[in-house]
Amino acid sequence: MPPQTSRVLQLNAAGAWLLVVCAVAQPPPPDTVYINANIYTVDPARPRAEALAVAGERIAAVGSLAEITRLKHPTTRTIDLHGATVLPGLIDAHGHMAGLGSFAFGRLDLSSARSFADVLAAVAERVKSAKPGEWILGGRWDHESWPERKLPTHHQLSAVSPDNPVWLTRVDGHAGLANAAAMKLAGVTLETPSPAGGEILRDQKGEPTGIFVDNAEDLIARHARAAGVSADSASELVEGRDESAVGSSEQLLLKAQELCLSVGLTGVHDAGVSPGDIATYDRLAADGRLKLRVYAMIAAPYAIEYFKSHEPRSGDRLSVRACKIVADGAMGSRGAWLIAPYSDRPTDEQGRPYVGLKVTQPEFIRQVAEDALRRGYQVCTHAIGDRANQEVLNAYSLALSRRPTKDHRFRIEHAQLLAPEDIPRFAQLGVIASMQPTHCTSDMRWVEARVGAERAKGAYAWAQLLRSGARIAAGSDFPVESHNPFLGLYAAATRQNADGQPAGGWRPEDRMTREEALRAFTLDAAYAAFEEDRRGSLTPGKLADFVVLDRDVMTCAPRAILETKVLRTVIAGETVYQAALNLAPR
């Protein structure tokens, strides 16, 4: 080949290579640019910005107004946010979608009851329209918010509903109140023993009071399930009956999605689903009705068999690669498993030290953890009491010693009360603390009564965990608490109730900064679902999931956070919620 020809070919090849490089380097022209915004990216490379560009489903660029304006194409749409604040899409790392949706379809919502009399009035009103023998179902009552602050008994409830069985779950879902008609249908008598991991509360004569705790709940729930009893699973709520009674499984999940999108949630970790729920989510995703990004944790009763027949999967709107185990109960109903007895109930009715309930054997948790490691699944275990957290950490540690896995991202859900020696173990083992800030501000009224001042130093120990190097993924545990993430952001940053009490916050040394709290609801919640490379921050190349607010929640007065209004929720570049009112940014 002549030298001149060779030289020409080399130049042509170099030019072609340069064109390819330029084509790769140039981002696609944006479909939409959002300008004049106050943007918090949660990306340390560029934490603040005033405009962003979206191309397709992804963020094309984040920067100054001038930088983003230069990227505009003749077909690019411009949305002027007039100074509104933009955050990455918020992620609730622990919620119950079916439970949230169910209150729109007939279950009595007793969260506003300020006394047992209010509960009785609500049930009496429902009895008027109920058919004879029809179950009356409700939930979210909290005796700690009543003047008497005592667990109720069935007698007055049985009087207002003598012919209709009633089942009312406590706000934490770990205890319920049944009336006499419900207990009769369930065959519960003086002789009925408390099951392992559960308790039937009794009066001085040994008669059931109507309160069933943790594993004892199923004595009533299995008889009420056909009528739509409280459950984490949408399929269980509607199994074996006319779905119109409390809505179909699709209706429950779609209603929950509607509520979540309206408060700026773009993702939810649904804690404790069934294979039926997964099938429902798949249908919703297939026809485009699932807008929310759902990270599903399979409930432990289904997990072992599910592992055998399904590979872990990470999808666009639905990911299924985790299981949910329950190690103990809740502190509010005194089912949380403690190292030492409860301060306000040191002994049970037989005079034995009372330390709460071991709902699941630690050996089972270890077995599931090993199986999950072998198959590539994540394990998320509910643990509230200090003994439960300790035993779960022990089970994880043993499983990991037998099947070493670097990036397992095992989680403890709630991690509410920790022994001092267990706090550093989260970071040491690579265990994520999935915590709900509003649990602290709801429970702080009585935590020290339950466990004493010294043990309470390890309650909701956010700052201690973060200082030790652990990650916190934040959520709400809705419908136990409100699904509104701004209540959680406020609680995390203040450790105060909505009235600003107590002054300075309850054990304020364990507050998060607002930046830490925002990260817990975004990037670290995404990390807890193996999705930090896709979402959780407003970074070019990541999914265009973000929320537009009427105020700057990072600088406004703390209590102003509680009044935050969502102007727009965007998922994959699509506006999936927009406020009906023309709310001016503050």
Report how far apart, in Å, the C-alpha atoms of 484 and of each of 97, 142, 263, 566 are: 13, 19, 6, 10
Q: Which residues of 233-258 are buried (b: 16+ CB within 10 A; e: fewer)?
A: bbbbbbbeeebebbbbbbbbbbbbbb
pLDDT tens string 422-441:
999 999 999 999 999 999 99
Range 196-199 contact pairs with CB under 8 angstroms and sequence separation of 24 or more:
197/357, 197/358, 197/359, 197/360, 198/357, 198/359, 199/335, 199/357
pLDDT digits (tens, 9 = 90+) for 30-66: 999 999 999 999 999 999 999 999 999 999 999 999 9
Other residues' Cβ atoms within 10 Å of the Cβ of residue 267: 27
Q: Is residue 102 part of a domain?
A: no
The per-residue pLDDT of the chain, averaged, comes to 92
Residues 275 and 186 placed together within one structural domain of the fold: no
Please answer whether residues 455 and 417 qualify as being in contact, where contact means their C-beta atoms are separated by less than 8 angstroms: yes
226: pLDDT confidence band, cut at 50, 70 and 90? Answer: low
Give 492-546 pLDDT, tens digit per residue.
999 999 999 999 999 999 999 999 999 999 999 999 999 999 999 999 999 999 9
> Per-residue confidence at 26, pLDDT binned at 50, 70, 90?
low
User: Do 257 and 167 sit in the same domain of this protein?
Assistant: no
Provide the pLDDT for residue 230.
42
Predicted pLDDT at 546? 99
How much is the average pLDDT of 89-93?
99
Provide the token pair at 313: 């999967």
The domain boundary residue, chosen from 534, 555, 575: 534
Q: What does the pLDDT look like over 470-504, one tens digit per residue?
A: 999 999 999 999 999 999 999 999 999 999 999 99
Task: Work out the pLDDT band at 227, boundaries 50, 70, 90.
Answer: low
Asked if residue 191 is part of any domain, the answer here is yes
pLDDT band with cut points at 50, 70 and 90 for residue 581: low
- Is the domain of 505 the same as that of 357? yes
Q: In the block, which residue shows the tokens 């008497």?
A: 148
Q: Choose one of 534, 554, 573: the last residue of a domain.
A: 534
Q: CA–CA distance from 564 to each of 183, 403, 547, 556, 557 (Å)?
A: 44, 46, 12, 10, 11
Question: Residue 3 — very low, low, confident or very high, per pLDDT cuts 50/70/90?
Answer: very low
Contact 355, 197 (CB under 8 A): no
Q: 208 is written with which tokens?
A: 């059931």
CATH of the domain at 158: 3.10.310.70
Check if the beta carbon of residue 390 is closer than 8 Å to that of residue 412: no
Banded pLDDT at 9 (limits 50, 70, 90): very low
Q: Residue 27: is its pLDDT beyond 70?
A: no
Does 24 score more than 60 pLDDT?
no
Residue 358 in domain: yes
Amino acid at 411: R
Final residue of a structural domain among 229, 261, 292? 229
Residues 71 and 146 in one domain: no
Please check whether residue 234 lies inside any domain of the structure.
Answer: no
> Which of 502-541 are b and which e, b meaning 16 or more Cβ less than 10 Å from the residue's Cβ?
eeebbbeebbbebebbbbbbbbbbbbbbbbbebbbbbbbe
Residue 6 banded pLDDT, cuts 50, 70, 90: very low
Residue 114 lies in a domain: yes
Query: Does residue 55 form part of some domain?
Result: yes
In this structure, the answer to whether residues 26 and 122 fall within a common structural domain is no
Same structural domain for residues 420 and 511? yes
Are residues 411 and 366 part of one domain? yes
Please check whether residues 565 and 522 belong to one and the same domain. no
Per-residue model confidence as pLDDT tens digits over 347-391: 998 899 999 999 999 999 999 999 999 999 999 999 999 999 999
Range of the domain at 194: 108-229
Question: For the chain, first and last CA: distance in Å?
Answer: 72
d(CA 543, CA 89): 10
The answer as to whether 81 is a domain residue is yes
Give the span between the Cα atoms of 162 and 158, in whole angstroms. 5
With respect to residue 556, please indicate whether it lies within any of the assigned structural domains: yes
Looking at residue 404, what is its pLDDT? 97
Tell me: pLDDT of 346 over 50. yes
Number of domains present in the structure of the chain: 3
Domain of residue 24, CATH code: 2.30.40.10
Which pLDDT does position 8 carry in this prediction?
41
pLDDT value of residue 17: 42
- Choose the weakest-confidence range: 130-139, 440-449, 451-460, 547-556: 130-139
441-452 residue pLDDT tens? 999 999 999 999
**Which CATH number belongs to the domain containing residue 315 in this structure?**
3.20.20.140
Confidence class for position 555, pLDDT limits 50, 70, 90 = very high
Mark whether 390 and 512 lie in a shared domain: yes
- Summarize pLDDT for 279-335 with one digit per residue, the tens: 999 999 999 999 999 999 999 989 989 999 999 999 999 999 999 999 999 999 999
**pLDDT score for 224:** 84
The owner of tokens 């639905």 is 318
Q: Are residues 3 and 58 in the same domain?
A: yes
Residue 379 sits in the same domain as residue 460: yes
Are residue 137 and residue 282 in the same domain, yes or no? no
